[in-house]
Structure formats: structure tokens, C-alpha cells
Amino acid sequence: MSALALALCAVLVPAGPVQASAPRRAERAEPLPLELLFDNTAVSDDARPGAADFDGSGASLSAQDLTAAGWTPGRTPTVQGARLSWPRREAGAPDNVRAAGQSVRVGGRGDALAFLVAGTGGTDVTGTGRVSYANGGSSSYRLTAPDWRTGPLATKAVALPHVNTPGGQLAEKARLYVVTVPLTRGRPVASVRLPDSPHLHVFAVSVRATSAGWSGSWAAATAGYPAMGPWSERTLRLVVHSSVGGPRVRLRFDNTFAAAPVRIGSATVAVQEAGAAARDVPVPVAFRGAAGAEVPAGAQVFSDPLGFEVPADANLLVSFHLPGTVTAAPVHRLAQQRSYVSEAGDHTADGSGTAYTTVLTSWPLLAGVDVGGGPGSVVLLGDSITDGDKSTVDANRRWPDVLATRLLAQDVVPHYGVLNQGISANRVVTDRYPGDGVSTDTGGVSALHRFDRDVLAQTSVRTAVVFQGVNDLRWGATADVVIAGLRAIADRGRARGLRMLAATILPCEGEARCTAAVDGERVAVNAWIRNAGVFDGVLDFDGVVRDPDHPARMLPSYDSGDHLHPGDTGLAALAGSVDLGLLR
């Protein structure tokens, strides 16, 4: 599946006569707003489930479940950087379009077209459409919508806990998906021709605007949705490290994998002095002019641009008040950085760290820090080695940090921001976290399933480096399976105009799962990375750290001691080996 898709409600039986016999729309001379084309009703009130028939068998979404998730009529949640309006319709009224080649009025410039869609055929629904541009010309796209009842939870935007039927409510997950397809950059969109696919339902469509004037400076990938706290009326003060600096800042909070909204009462940013103490008085950020914001389940929110000088290569304090009770949260578990939780109250404006009495070793909710200006960013998609496992806590010695420092000190290529999207235990082709619900596993969904969110939707990304595969191999995947996953990632990135680089997999003899058979598969994957020509460039990390007298293991001077993860010296060697010209 080439993009994060958003399926709402589908059924396991074939579509009934209501849907099958629906007349196909004639093409219209003039495109219309999507809401004027609504011809299907997907949402019912729990008290009147028969008022909607989404899939032709009488099944539908629960209006009460949507409200509980924060997806209320007329609300415009942001998912993958795209604002998509949930239809402003009451339960029981037409709220989506069955794709039949209709021409939809859509405007804006951006890098992608985003669809809020649902399949109702029992399996993925795929179709081809066309984008028309205001200054002439067009481009085609291919759209795949996962099924609302059988599609993967790992790629959904949000899952609802019930399916309404005329015979009663079923305790069965209904999925919502967001799918993005590429646009010709810089050209203004005028209209979109939908595919002709009778089981593909479209709820919203919009252009995802490019992040002009912004560079990503820090990011963390959501790794799971574990129990946290519980926090009630607490302030979190997270310590994050900038790569590039700039004169403006904006923050991004992601409620990924959640089932309910989360309320941020207020938020501030400051440069760290020491521990939880700020160098100067923390500066408040706003959200569409308000002090706080509610983030719907599965959605994200950006703060308003703030005139604040972010130093390069520096620790920031991002503080946010949680006025409600939070018992679970989307989290990046392995921060390798101490952050803080306050005593009760809103302590976002405190310059002192006195109120912050509890240490936190993960990054909940906060997913990005952008700075004004700059040339854009490089995204590093990886596992625990990229995440910094076994690097010194609080020292910012992950290899992405060292690479960012190198970029700042040279003039061969632009001073890109470096966004670390490593997740400890992550794999290329297999989900560790199942993608829904509270879980103790924070190994994330697979690189294939998170690629759209963690790479394509990142701020002003220019180049992506993929450094994964050892966890797949250690847990039984073959070289062919890993190669197929890496090839798919390369193809998807290049289709969106990204420069795609790959790093070879490190040797790990001596670690319990790194058997001779696993090493044979690793060698095969590395040979493919080096020789296949699928990626735009190769970082030969294997060649950097392996023992020349024993290539199946790391040099002892680079080994953290567990034989799988390099220590600080090894991580610095990885970053120091990168040919910066490949990032051009």
C-alpha cells in the first residue's frame, strides 16, 4: 500500500443491491464541491442505526463513536500534515461520495493530495483518477483505500469501537484512513477527477500544503500507545535537541494511535539552562490564536508560528499542561534524555525547575519542532541504532546528532535539519506494536506502515536515509523479504521526489539472535543494497564498524558491549563516514 489510507466502514459480505445497482454518474462539465456530490450515508445515530447504509448491507458508523473520538461534524482534523474536513452533516444524512469519476472542485498548491476515504468491498479498493491544474495540464494518480472492517489497523488514522447494523451494534472496529498521492509541485490544483470504483467512498479531499519557510529541526516517531501516568492536572516539560536553528518556531503534537482526544491547556518553549530550569522565561505558543488545543484521536496539531530564536545544536524545553486525566498516550519510548513531570498545576511559564519533581524517560505527544527558514530537512528512518540505544543519556551522542553537528560545520551542502525517526525494536516489514489500543510493546508499526507519516509527511523533507533490517533478520525474516520491503520504501520515496539513501546493516555476532545463518542473510541484504542501484546512494555502515579480521562482528572499540549496538565511539564513526555530498 503506497500511502496511509483512511478506511471507515466495510463489510465482510459482498455489497448488496442498494450499492450494486446505484447508477453511475455522468461526467460533469464543471467540477463541484465534494459535499454537493454526496450520494451515500455512512453515519447513523446509535438510536436509529437503520438511517444509514454505508456498504449496501445496512452497516454504518456510529455518530456517538465519532464524537467520542473528536471527529465531530464540520471539524477539520489535521492528519499527515493535511487538513481534512469531516462532513458537516447530521447522522442519517448523505456524508460521502461513491467514487464514480466525479469531478471535484479542489484548490491549493502543495506536495500531495490527501483523501479521507473508505473501502466497502471486503478488501482494498484501488482506482485511478486525474488532477487538473489551474494553469493547464494534468497528472494521474492511483488511490488505494483499505476496507473499513478488514484493513490494517497499523495504517489507520483512527479506529472506532463499533459497527452499527439494523440488528444491533457490533463490538467490532471500524477504521478511518487517510491516503495521500503525489502532486506536481508548485502548480495550483483546480479540480480532481475521482476514480471509477464503486466500493471506494470519499469523505473529504484537500491539498496538503508544502511547509514553505520551515525546516524540521527535531522530530520523534510515535512508537506505541502505552499506559502512562496517570497524569491529572500535570505539566510535562520535555527536553529535546535542535539540529538547525532559526528565528521562528512551531511545535507539533501528534495524537497517533489514540481512541480519544487529548487536551493541551497551554504550552511554552524555552532554551534549557540545566535540568528542568530554563535559561529565560518560557515563551507561550498559541494554537490558532488560543492558548491550548484539543487534538482529535489519530490527528495532530501545529502551534502558530512564534518569533523565538532557536539556537542550533541546543537543548530546548517544551512544556505543555494536561488539564484532564491522561492514562495512556502516544509515545516515543527511548528518549535517551531525561524530561520532567510537574506537581499538580499549570507550570508551563515557570522558569525554575522546582515544580518538576518527576523524571520522564520518554517523549509523549510531542512529535516535532520546526524552525523558520533553512533549506529543509533530512529524515533518518531506522531502529534502535538510529534511536540512540546505548548512547550516553542526556549527551546527544546518537549518530543523527553527530551528523547534524557535521552539517552545521561545513559548506559543501546546505545546513539541513536532521530528523531522527528511529524506533527501538522497529522492523521493515513486521509491526511490533499492532497499531491500535493500549499496548506494552513500543517497537512501532513497520517501516512500511509508518513511512507516509514518519517520512513523507515530515516538514520540508528532501532526503531520506533508510537504516533498518537487522531486527527483521534476527527474528526470522529472510533476506528476500527484507529486500522486498526496502525496495518498496525506495520506490515510494522516489515517487514523491525524495532522494533515497540506504545504509548497510551492521554485523552483530555475539548477540544471542545473531547466528551464523542470520549473518548470511545480512550479507545478502547488504550485497543487494550496494549493488542493485535501487537507492540513490549507499552509506556503507557495515564497512565502517566491522572487524576486518572477523567481518561478522563489530570492532570491539565500537561495540557498546551487547554486540548489537555501537557505543558513543561507534555511533560517531557512523556519522563521520557519511559522504555529505550524497545529501545534496
pLDDT at 495: 94
Question: Which among 404, 403, 500, 504 is positioned nearest to 455, based on CA atoms?
Answer: 500
Encode 460-482: b = buried (16+ Cβ within 10 Å), e = exposed. bbbbbbbbbbbbbbbeebebebb
pLDDT at 180: 97
pLDDT at 127: 97
Residue 318 has pLDDT above 70, yes or no: yes
In angstroms, the Cα distances linking 298 to 62, 90, 101, 330 are 17, 22, 29, 10
Residue 327 has pLDDT above 70, yes or no: yes
**Cross-strand pairs, 227:** 328
Residue 10 has pLDDT above 90, yes or no: no
pLDDT at 404: 98
pLDDT at 82: 97
Predicted confidence band of residue 81 (pLDDT cuts 50, 70, 90): very high
pLDDT at 29: 59
Q: What string of DSSP letters covers 385-409?
A: HHHTTTSPTTS--SHHHHHHHHHHT
pLDDT at 186: 86
Instruction: Give 342-372 pLDDT, tens digit per residue.
Output: 999 999 999 999 999 999 999 999 999 999 9
Instruction: Give 252-293 pLDDT, tens digit per residue.
Output: 999 999 999 999 999 999 999 999 999 999 999 999 999 999
Chain position carrying cell 522565561:
281
Q: Report d(CA 268, CA 319) in Å as an integer.
A: 5
Question: Which among 32, 452, 397, 415 is positioned nearest to 221, based on CA atoms?
Answer: 452
Number of Cβ atoms within 10 Å of the Cβ of 550: 11
Q: What would the mean pLDDT of 223-238 be, rounded to a whole number?
A: 98
Question: Which among 216, 205, 185 is positioned nearest to 79, based on CA atoms?
Answer: 205
pLDDT at 185: 86
At 482, phi and psi to the nearest 5? Answer: -65, -40
Report CA 447 to chain centroid distance, whole Å. 10
3-state SS of 249-291?
Answer: EEEEEECCCCCCCEEECEEEEEEEEECCEECCCCEEECECCEC
Question: Which among 74, 40, 79, 38 is positioned nearest to 60, based on CA atoms?
Answer: 40
Residue 199 has pLDDT above 50, yes or no: yes
Share above pLDDT 90 across residues of the chain, in percent, rounded to a whole number: 94
Q: What would the mean pLDDT of 555-579 be, rounded to a whole number?
A: 98
Residue 330 has pLDDT above 50, yes or no: yes
pLDDT at 584: 86
In angstroms, the Cα distances linking 151 to 5, 205, 433, 488 are 9, 20, 16, 19
Q: Report d(CA 211, CA 112) in Å as an integer.
A: 12
Q: Note the residue count of the chain.
A: 584
Type and span of the H or E element at 68: helix 63-68
> Chain-wide mean pLDDT for the chain?
94
Instruction: Give 12-42 pLDDT, tens digit per residue.
Output: 222 332 333 344 444 445 999 999 999 999 9
Q: What would the mean pLDDT of 480-502 be, rounded to a whole number?
A: 97
Q: What would the mean pLDDT of 137-143 be, rounded to a whole number?
A: 96
Q: What would the mean pLDDT of 217-235 be, rounded to a whole number?
A: 98
Q: Which of 11-25, 412-426, 524-538 has the lowest mean pLDDT?
A: 11-25
pLDDT at 20: 32
Residue 7 has pLDDT above 90, yes or no: no
Predicted confidence band of residue 4 (pLDDT cuts 50, 70, 90): very low
Q: Report d(CA 208, CA 180) in Å as an integer.
A: 9
Share above pLDDT 70 across residues of the chain, in percent, rounded to a whole number: 95
Cβ partners under 8 Å of residue 479, min gap 6: 473, 521, 522, 524, 525, 528
Q: What would the mean pLDDT of 232-261 be, rounded to a whole number?
A: 98
Q: What would the mean pLDDT of 223-243 be, rounded to a whole number?
A: 98
